[in-house]
């Protein structure tokens, strides 16, 4: 139905009032816009283009959380698009291909280079056995050419099936320049069309003839993977525990469309990269705790020698078993592990001193109860907490001066200074921190859903918990906005005071009681290292975790963020869903979805699965759970795909179109603006260029 849109000159001559909504356009603005759309034709075709796009089905969004450095498993999920590629193959080929052929095609889409190499060597060995001669891997081997041709045609068909949801221009933009012409021709030609059969076959043959098949297959595979997942959301905790957070970050930096809602572990590394000594100490401590030298040394080239020397010079004594490195299989020798434990304790003591200093300079954070060193009786080897005396399981603090327990020794200060320089000079860490800042935020409202890693701090009554942030009492959405602003200030601030304050807030976001990224009464690091009594280890979750099952609480939170509660969802990570204990990822009658399914191996025993992916496409929402990932090598060799299991599906009433998404809202506004420019051309107020 075409609305008859009236167009009336506004009150003042240089303004335009358009349609029902009195949107006024400044003529100067339209003249500026005319530089981009210099003629009536140019602006008209854009209006038609945008109007077409808003009627396309909405692009598919994937949501994942708590990857915690598991880069091989994550990379596989990125490549198999959480099972969507396989589903596309089934939709495209049905039973015209055998299961084995479909699996082989899937592996080719996931790992094209490796699969081609495997095929070549298999054929070469076959030729050797058959022909008895050493058949060089000649790319003219008829068997190889035949395989190439078959898989190329299949890939083109699969690509065509994956591209149908998008405009030609969007697909073209996803193809590398040097293949745009060929792929577009093949995509828009039907290989069965009699008229163009020769033309189509000619293109395929020429690719084979000039030996461009490998590149062509790789480009097609990447294009298919790009088309099946339009946008990716990472709802926090990329870092820590697994060994490959730096590789996950590189995968995300290469991704065509991704946003990140920071997790507490992510802001810890942002703080460390931005110069927070206490965040740096804690990030190192956690890495040493998991013997994660890959991220520290290979990933970021951080210099551990000063810390190693400090550990060897001062921590030769006995240390608590709680400093044992928390990994099962490792290629590290016993004495390496012992050294890592000593380094972990050395940096843990530095961290406690630096935390003590921070708590003293930020009384508004109300964290005096989280200072420990001045409560220790070093003679008796005990500590007094809340009036209760506890025996320390490790009373050896060789670098702590009871008179000034929070002062760093000269050696410790030297280690901190050297480490800080090392973090600052790690170009890869700085690149990743920048990416987290550019693509990340504390929360995200996207296509009607609200994403944040942990919680919105609530009181027992379900009201938004108030918190003093830099002198302002904030709660709910404005509190999260305030925290978001502080993380960016920690990265961008030039003024040293401002930066120092922002960095202390970033540390609070990592472990503070009212942090929307942590949401627990305390991070019981000291207690878990030094005190045996389990009651001191208890981390009480924020009231949010008891109240989030109540639909009315979720509706109130959605309202706080301006969302329509009937169609919206809250999506969280942070707390693993204990599937084995019967816990559900879907809560509050479908209003809240928690997607921390234990991607991190450390959590898989209690979740019983290896992570979730939430898929939101034009038909609705679909949650899938992953099985533990073997290895990339097996996936390639045996076409072993880790296909997820469907957990729940929520169908939309009507198919969701681009016009129903945030991008669609923007496009509709742009259409109105462009129509104003068109009218201004037509009545001569703006001259065509
Ligand atoms: O298992 P570790 O390394 O001792 O860490 C335990 C700590 O990690 C936390 O669970 C925070 O990490 P997560 O955000 O990944 O849950 C703390 O609540 C807890 O004190
Ligand atoms: Mn977390």
Ligand 1: centre distance to CA 523 (Å): 7
Ligand at minimal distance from the CA of 286 is 1
CA–CA separation, 508 and 35 (whole Å):
48
What's the Cα-to-Cα distance from 400 to each of 317, 406, 415, rounded to whole Å?
Answer: 14, 8, 15
What ligand has the least distance to the C-alpha of 523?
A: 1
Q: Is the CB of 539 under 6 A from ligand 1?
A: yes
Q: How far, in Å, CA of 265 to CA of 573, rounded? A: 12
Nearest CA among 323, 564, 451 for reference residue 65 = 451
What is the distance between the terminal CA atoms of the chain, rounded to a whole angstrom?
Answer: 33
Q: How many CA atoms lie within 13 A of 30 on its CB side?
A: 28
- What are 622's strand-pairing partners? 615, 649
The number of the ligand 1 atom at minimal distance from the alpha carbon of 326 is 3
pLDDT at position 347 is: 98
Report the range out of 327-341, 455-469, 620-634, 647-661 with the highest average pLDDT: 455-469
Tokens representing residue 689 in the block: 């260029």
Rounded-to-integer distance, Cα 592 and Cα 597, Å = 15
pLDDT for res 203 = 84
Q: Of ligand 1's atoms, which has the minimum distance to the CA of residue 289? A: 3
Q: Residues, the chain, total?
A: 689
- Identify the bridge partners of residue 260 per DSSP, sorted by sequence position: 234, 440
Residue 489: how many other CB atoms lie within 10 Å: 19
pLDDT score of 685 more than 90: no
Per-residue pLDDT at 277 exceeds 50: yes
Ligand 1 centroid to 93 CA: how many Å? Answer: 46
For ligand 1, atom 9, the nearest C-alpha belongs to 523
CA 62 – ligand 2 centroid, Å: 19
Expressed in angstroms and rounded, the spacing between residue 360 Cα and the centre of ligand 2 is: 26
- Burial (0-12, 13-18, 19+ Cβ within 10 Å), 647: buried
Which candidate, 317, 308, 313, 377, places its Cα nearest to that of 339? 308
Question: Could you tell me if 34 and 584 are in contact, meaning their C-beta atoms sit under 8 angstroms apart?
Answer: no
| Whether the predicted pLDDT of 106 surpasses 90 | yes
**What is the number of the ligand 1 atom nearest to the C-alpha of 574?**
14
Specify burial of residue 247 (Cβ count, 10 A radius: 0-12, 13-18, 19+): buried
Q: What predicted TM-score, i.e. pTM, was given to this entire model? A: 0.92
Distance 627 CA to ligand 2 centre (A): 21
Residue 277 Cβ inside 6 Å of ligand 1? The answer reads no
Taking the domains of the chain in order of start, what are their residue ranges?
Answer: 10-56+661-682, 83-229, 245-530
Stretch 271-285: mean pLDDT, rounded? 98
Torsion, Cα of 508, 512, 517, 521 (10° steps): 180
Please report the atom of ligand 1 found closest to the CA of residue 600. 15
Say what the pLDDT of residue 22 is: 54
Strand positions, DSSP E, 404-541: 440-441, 443-446, 449-452, 467-469, 472-474
322 CB within 6 A, ligand 1 = no
Q: Which atom of ligand 1 lies at the shortest distance from residue 66's CA?
A: 15
pLDDT in tens, 50-67: 999 999 999 999 999 999
Tens of pLDDT, residue by residue over 220-244, are 999 999 999 999 999 999 999 999 9
Backbone angles phi, psi at 572, to 5 degrees: -125, 160
Q: Is the CB of 264 under 6 A from ligand 1?
A: yes
pLDDT of residue 132: 57
Distance in Å, CA 239 to ligand 2 centroid: 9
Query: 450: which strand partners?
Result: 445, 570
pLDDT for 10 equals 45
How confident is the model over 540-568, as a mean pLDDT? Answer: 96
Q: What does the pLDDT average to over 60-86?
A: 94
Mean pLDDT, rounded, of the chain: 91
pLDDT for residue 12 = 44
Q: Is 67 in the pocket of ligand 1 (CB under 6 A)?
A: no
Question: What is the share, in percent, of the chain residues with pLDDT greater than 70?
Answer: 94
Identify whether the C-beta of residue 646 lies closer than 8 Å to the C-beta of residue 6: no
Assess whether the C-beta atom of 327 lies below 6 angstroms from ligand 1: no
Q: Give the pLDDT score at 28.
A: 85
Of the candidates 283, 325, 323, 315, the one whose C-alpha atom is nearest the C-alpha of residue 302 is: 283
CA of 518 to the centre of ligand 1 (A): 9
Using CA positions, which residue lies closest to atom 18 of ligand 1?
A: 523
Does the C-beta of 523 come closer than 6 Å to ligand 1? Answer: yes
Candidates 630, 628, 632; CA nearest to 644 is 628
- The residue-averaged pLDDT of 540-561 equals 97
Q: What is the dihedral of CA 259, 264, 269, 274, to 10 degrees?
A: 90
Report DSSP state, residue 625. Answer: E
Burial of 344 (0-12, 13-18, 19+ CB in 10 A): buried
> Does residue 524's CB lie within 6 angstroms of at least one atom of ligand 1?
yes
pLDDT of 189 above 60: yes
How does pLDDT run across 114-127, given as a tens digit for each residue?
Answer: 999 999 988 887 76
Atom of ligand 1 nearest to the CA of 576: 16
pLDDT tens-digit readout, 426-447? 999 999 999 999 999 999 999 9
Whether ligand 1 lies within 6 angstroms of the CB of 102 is answered as no
**How does residue 588 score in pLDDT terms, banded at 50, 70 and 90?**
very high
pLDDT of residue 626 exceeding 60: yes
- Global ipTM: 0.96
The pLDDT value recorded for residue 7 is 41
For residues 671 and 483, give the distance between their C-alpha atoms in angstroms, rounded to a whole number.
Answer: 35
Ligand nearest to the CA of 240: 1
Distance 6 CA to ligand 2 centre (A): 53
CA 206 to ligand 2 center in whole angstroms: 52
Distance 611 CA to ligand 2 centre (A): 14
| 336 in contact with ligand 1, CB cutoff 6 A | no
The yes-or-no verdict on residue 82 having pLDDT over 80 is yes
The C-alpha angle with vertex 666 and arms to 664 and 667, in degrees rounded to 5, equals: 65
Question: For residue 523, which atom of ligand 1 is closest to its CA?
Answer: 20
Query: How many Å apart are CA 451 and CA 376, to the nearest integer?
Result: 42
User: Which ranges of 326-392 would DSSP assign to H, the alpha helix?
Assistant: 334-361
Which numbered ligand comes closest to the C-alpha of 344? 1
Element spanning 546, H or E: helix 544-547
Q: What is the distance between the alpha carbons of residues 417 and 408, in angstroms, rounded to a whole number?
A: 11
Q: Is the CB of 574 under 6 A from ligand 1?
A: yes
Question: What value does the mean pLDDT take over residues 400-414?
Answer: 98
C-alpha dihedral (414, 415, 418, 421), degrees to nearest 10? -110
What distance in angstroms lies between residue 155's CA and the mean position of ligand 2's atoms? 39
| Residue closest to 593 by CA, chosen among 611, 579, 573 | 573
All residues with CB under 5 Å from ion ligand 2: 237, 263-264, 574
Cα separation, 538 vs 523, in Å, equals 9
Is ligand 1 within 6 A of the CB of residue 606? Answer: no
Which of ligand 1's atoms lies nearest the C-alpha of 524?
Answer: 20
Maximum Cα interatomic distance, the chain, rounded to a whole number of Å: 94
Specify whether the CB–CB gap between 627 and 29 falls below 8 A: no
Ligand 1 atom at shortest distance from the alpha carbon of 539: 18
Under 8 Å between Cβ of 656 and 59: no
Sheet (strand 23-26) strand order: 7-9, 15-18, 23-26
- Beta-carbon contacts of residue 384 (< 8 Å; ≥ 6 apart): 375, 377, 390
Residue of 284, 291, 523 best suited for mutating to test ligand 1, as the one with most atoms within 8 Å of CB? 523
Q: How confident is the model at residue 140 (pLDDT cuts 50, 70, 90)?
A: confident
Mean pLDDT of all residues in 681-688: 90
Nearest alpha carbon, ligand 1 atom 7: 523
User: CA dihedral in degrees (626, 632, 635, 636; nearest 10)?
Assistant: 150
Between β-strands 620-625 and 231-234, what pairing exists: parallel, antiparallel or unpaired? Answer: unpaired
pLDDT band at 652 (very low <50, low <70, confident <90, very high): confident
The CB of 520 under 6 Å from ligand 1? The reply is yes
Average pLDDT over residues 664-669: 93
| CA 523 to centroid of ligand 2, rounded, Å | 12
The DSSP-derived string for 476-508 is HHHHHHHHHHHHHHHHH--SHHHHHHHHHHHHH
Residue 466: pLDDT over 70? yes
Q: In what order do the strands lie in the sheet with 620-625?
A: 440-441, 258-261, 231-234, 61-64, 612-617, 620-625, 645-651
Calculate how far, in angstroms, residue 278's C-alpha sits from the geometric centre of ligand 1: 17
Ligand 1, atom 15, lies closest to the CA of: 574
Q: What is the 3-state secondary structure (H, E, C) of 293-339?
A: HHHHHHHCCCCCHHHHHHHHHHCCCCCCHHHCCCCCCCCCCHHHHHH
- Report the separation in Å between the CA atom of 572 and the middle of ligand 2, taken as the mean of its atom positions: 10
Ligand nearest to C-alpha 282: 1
For the record, the structure tokens of 159 come out as 């690509």
* Beta carbons within 10 angstroms of residue 431's beta carbon: 15
Q: Look at the block and give the residue holding tokens 């009651």.
A: 535
Q: Where are the beta strands (DSSP E) in 368-412?
A: 376-377, 382-385, 388-391
Strand bridging mode 7-9 / 15-18:
antiparallel
Distance 60 CA to ligand 2 centre (A): 25
User: What residue owns the CA closest to ligand 1's atom 8?
Assistant: 523
Mean pLDDT across 482-486: 98
**Ligand 1 centroid to 524 CA: how many Å?**
9
């Amino acid at each position: 139905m075409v609305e008859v849109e009236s167009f009336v000159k506004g009150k003042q001559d240089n303004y335009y009032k358009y349609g029902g909504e009195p949107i006024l356009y400044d003529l100067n603005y339209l003249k500026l816009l005319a530089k981009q759309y210099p003629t009536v034709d140019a602006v008209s075709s854009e209006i038609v283009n945008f109007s077409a796009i808003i009627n396309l089905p909405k692009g598919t969004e994937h949501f994942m959380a708590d990857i915690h450095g598991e880069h091989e498993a994550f990379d596989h999920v990125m490549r198999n698009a959480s099972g969507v590629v396989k589903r596309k193959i089934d939709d495209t080929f049905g039973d015209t291909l055998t299961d084995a052929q479909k699996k082989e095609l899937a592996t080719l889409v996931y790992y094209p280079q490796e699969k081609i190499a495997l095929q070549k060597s298999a054929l070469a060995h076959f030729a050797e056995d058959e022909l008895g001669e050493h058949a060089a891997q000649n790319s003219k081997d008829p068997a190889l050419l035949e395989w190439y041709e078959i898989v190329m045609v299949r890939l083109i068909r699969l690509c065509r099936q994956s591209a149908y949801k998008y405009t030609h221009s969007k697909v073209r933009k996803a193809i590398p320049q040097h293949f745009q012409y060929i792929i577009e021709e093949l995509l828009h030609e039907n290989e069965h069309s009699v008229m163009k059969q020769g033309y189509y076959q000619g293109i395929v043959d020429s690719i084979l003839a000039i030996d461009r098949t490998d590149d062509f297959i790789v480009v097609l595979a990447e294009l298919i993977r790009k088309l099946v997942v339009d946008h990716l959301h990472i709802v926090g905790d990329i870092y820590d525990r697994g060994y490959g957070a730096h590789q996950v970050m590189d995968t995300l930096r290469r991704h065509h469309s991704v946003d990140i809602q920071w997790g507490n572990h992510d802001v810890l590394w942002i703080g460390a990269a931005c110069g927070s000594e206490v965040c740096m100490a804690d990030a190192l401590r956690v890495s040493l705790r998991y013997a994660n030298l890959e991220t520290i040394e290979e990933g970021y080239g951080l210099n551990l020698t000063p810390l190693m020397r400090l550990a060897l010079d001062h921590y030769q004594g006995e240390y608590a078993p709680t400093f044992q490195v928390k990994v099962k299989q490792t290629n590290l020798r016993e004495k390496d592990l012992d050294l890592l434990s000593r380094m972990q304790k050395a940096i843990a003591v530095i961290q406690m001193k630096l935390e003590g200093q921070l708590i003293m300079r930020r009384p508004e954070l109300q964290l005096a109860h989280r200072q420990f060193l001045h409560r220790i009786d070093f003679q008796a080897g005990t500590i007094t907490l809340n009036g209760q005396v506890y025996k320390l399981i490790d009373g050896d603090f060789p670098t702590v001066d009871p008179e000034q327990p929070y002062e760093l020794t000269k050696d410790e200060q030297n280690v901190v200074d050297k480490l800080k320089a090392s973090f600052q000079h790690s170009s890869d860490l700085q690149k990743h921190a920048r990416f987290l800042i550019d693509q990340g935020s504390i929360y995200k409202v996207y296509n009607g859903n609200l994403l944040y890693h942990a919680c919105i701090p609530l009181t027992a009554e379900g009201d938004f918990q108030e918190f003093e942030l830099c002198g302002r009492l904030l709660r709910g959405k404005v509190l999260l906005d305030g925290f978001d602003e502080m993380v960016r200030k920690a990265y961008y601030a030039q003024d040293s005071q401002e930066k120092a304050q922002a960095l202390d807030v970033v540390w609070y976001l990592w472990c503070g009681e009212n942090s929307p990224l942590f949401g627990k009464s305390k991070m019981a690091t000291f207690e878990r290292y030094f005190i045996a009594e389990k009651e001191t280890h208890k981390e009480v979750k924020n009231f949010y975790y008891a109240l989030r099952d109540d639909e009315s609480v979720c509706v109130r939170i959605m309202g706080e963020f301006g969302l329509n509660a009937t169609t919206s969802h809250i999506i969280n990570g942070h707390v693993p869903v204990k599937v084995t204990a019967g816990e559900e990822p879907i809560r509050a009658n479908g209003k809240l979805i928690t997607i921390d399914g234990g991607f991190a191996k450390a959590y898989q025993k209690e979740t019983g699965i290896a992570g979730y992916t939430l898929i939101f496409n034009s038909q609705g929402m679909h949650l899938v759970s992953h099985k533990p990932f073997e290895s990339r090598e097996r996936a390639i060799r045996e076409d072993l795909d880790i296909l997820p299991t469907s957990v729940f599906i929520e169908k939309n009433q009507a198919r969701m179109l681009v016009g129903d998404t945030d991008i669609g809202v923007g496009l509709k506004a742009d259409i109105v603006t462009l129509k104003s420019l068109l009218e201004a051309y037509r009545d001569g107020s703006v001259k065509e260029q």
